[in-house]
């Protein structure tokens, strides 16, 4: 999206917040900087960006909910810098049959 709009003189730096600004430009039918054909084509990309953002948000909510119900994951989130997603990742790497985080998987020491 950034590259396509840059070709039309609409520049934005990297980052999720900047992508949201670009999507808003594509959605704004009154913005004359964007030709109709470009707006039509970029609308499909904007749709994909918004769908991906929605899916990521749903997944994150599910992981946070799982963290609230899992003792090991809750304990992991007490470590500074470890959030629900990192806790879920660590928990997933624990060897099968190990019910505790007493030992770390190979390569995590």
Residues of the chain with pLDDT > 70, as a percent, come to 87
Its pTM stands at 0.69
Residues 50 and 87 in one domain: no
Please give the residue range of the domain that contains residue 13: 2-56
- Distance in angstroms (rounded) separating the CA atoms of residues 38 and 25: 11
Q: Which residues contact 45 (CB under 8 A, 6 or more apart)?
A: 1, 4, 26
One domain, residues 84 and 44? no
Domain annotation covers residue 45: yes
Is the pLDDT score of 90 beyond 60?
yes
Q: Same domain, yes or no, for 74 and 52?
A: no
Pair (48, 74) in one structural domain: no
In a domain, 64, yes or no: no
Domain count, the chain: 2
Indicate if 7 and 49 belong to the same structural domain: yes
**Per-residue pLDDT reduced to its tens digit, 13-46:** 888 889 999 999 999 999 999 999 999 999 999 9
Residue 92 domain-assigned (yes or no)? yes
Distance CA 95, CA 76 (A): 16
In terms of domains, do 9 and 51 share one?
A: yes
Closest CA to 11 of 33, 27, 29: 33
How much is the pLDDT for 99? 60
Q: How many CA atoms lie within 13 A of 35 on its CB side?
A: 7
- Name the token pair of 34: 């964007």
């Amino acid at each position: 999206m950034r590259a396509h709009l840059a070709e039309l003189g609409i520049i934005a730096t990297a980052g999720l917040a900047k992508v949201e600004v670009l999507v808003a430009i594509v959605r704004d039918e009154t913005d004359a900087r964007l030709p109709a054909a470009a707006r039509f084509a970029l609308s499909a990309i904007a749709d994909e960006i918004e769908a991906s953002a929605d899916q990521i948000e749903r997944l994150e909510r599910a992981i946070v909910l799982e963290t609230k119900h899992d003792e090991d994951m809750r304990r992991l989130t007490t470590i500074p810098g470890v959030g629900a997603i990192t806790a879920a990742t660590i928990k997933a790497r624990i060897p099968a049959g190990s019910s505790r985080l007493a030992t770390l998987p190979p390569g995590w020491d």
